[in-house]
Amino acid sequence: MWEVLETAKNVAKKSRQVQINKQALIRFSRKVLADGIEVPRWNSHYHFCGSGEATVSYLLVLDSLNFCFWPARGRVKWEIEYESRKLSGYYALAASLKHAVESGIPITKAEYLADVTLSKLKQILGGQGELQLLEYRVQSLNELGQVLLKEYEGQAFKMVGAAGKSAVKLALLLAEKLASFRDVAKYQGHKVFFYKRAQIFAADLYGAFDGKDRANFTDIDKLTAFADYKLPQVLRHLGIFDYAQALAQKVDQEIYLEPGCPEEVEIRANTIWAVELIRRELERMEKGLRAFEIDWILWNLGQHGEFKVRPYHRTLTIFY
């Protein structure tokens, strides 16, 4: 994903509101090595794992909806009860969709997705509290179903197959065919490519299939980090991110950052570039981790309470 990496690097060089602290980055890289921090294994408990074709379809639906899990100010966050445990955020989405598949709701069928309604999606997700941008989630599913029917005989695995064994081609194909995956911004008049959910679908396939079968990608190492709102929160906690005072106040006071505004683009671009620098530092120390694996490590750290002391930035968007 050279477009993503190069445009992220260019933004990082020009950033005014976000700076990468190289010494903190080196300290974290050394800690990964010293503590023997491992890449998290794929969570098969909350994800559906069935036949190859059904799993591919499930993951594509999952990543079509994989964005914006935080509630509006003053609202209660969305959460579900799953096996006597309360879940929120991404894992709640994964478990809800898994339950739907296992209950016989045909969410892996393109015909169903093309016509799914808001009321049906609400029933599928269930739970309590507010999940924002539901109308856009319905649009994403409708678009997905229609494109699969029109171009891939209704089969998600055929869309994956069209990319050959290339994770990069798969991400670019999703961004080309589906507007909801076309994650591109502008900074100082130049395009900046992120393709967060498009890349994460390729990585999720890799995780679910353990890099085999339908996820036997030859270029999985070319994926970048997936620029969202959790990783910057973790990088800031680690001291790797330094925010200018004005931006720090906005983030800490949970003031919305408009999608595509300079501050938001700087946060996301520096996230990608910081992970790339961590990857290079670990490589220098003879620890070979790929960017998406470092992303998984950071995201999992972000689920611990100590990393949530300061809030993440708020941007209302379908892209992450």
State the pairing for strand pair 18-20/241-243.
antiparallel
Nearest to 138 by CA among 173, 162, 114, 169: 114
Which listed residue (228, 242, 252, 295) is catalytic? 228
Neighbours of 99 (CB within 10 A): 18
Nearest to 315 by CA among 192, 133, 144: 133
Token pair, residue 86, equals 């309360």
> Cα(116)–Cα(290) distance, rounded to whole angstroms?
37
> In angstroms, what CA-CA distances link 136 with 161, 187, 288, 307, 319?
27, 25, 38, 29, 11
Amino acid at 186: K
**26-53: string of b/e by CB count within 10 Å (b at 16+)?**
bebbeebeeeebeeeebeeebbbeeeee
Q: Coil, strand, or helix at residue 190? A: strand
Q: Coil, strand, or helix at residue 185? A: strand
Contact 194, 319 (CB under 8 A): yes
Residue 219 appears among annotated catalytic residues: no
Long-range pairs, 61-64, Cβ under 8 A, ≥24: 61/97, 61/107, 61/108, 61/113, 61/141, 61/144, 62/93, 62/94, 62/97, 62/204, 63/197, 63/200, 63/201, 63/204, 64/137, 64/140, 64/141, 64/144, 64/178, 64/180, 64/181, 64/197
> Which residues are catalytic, by number?
228
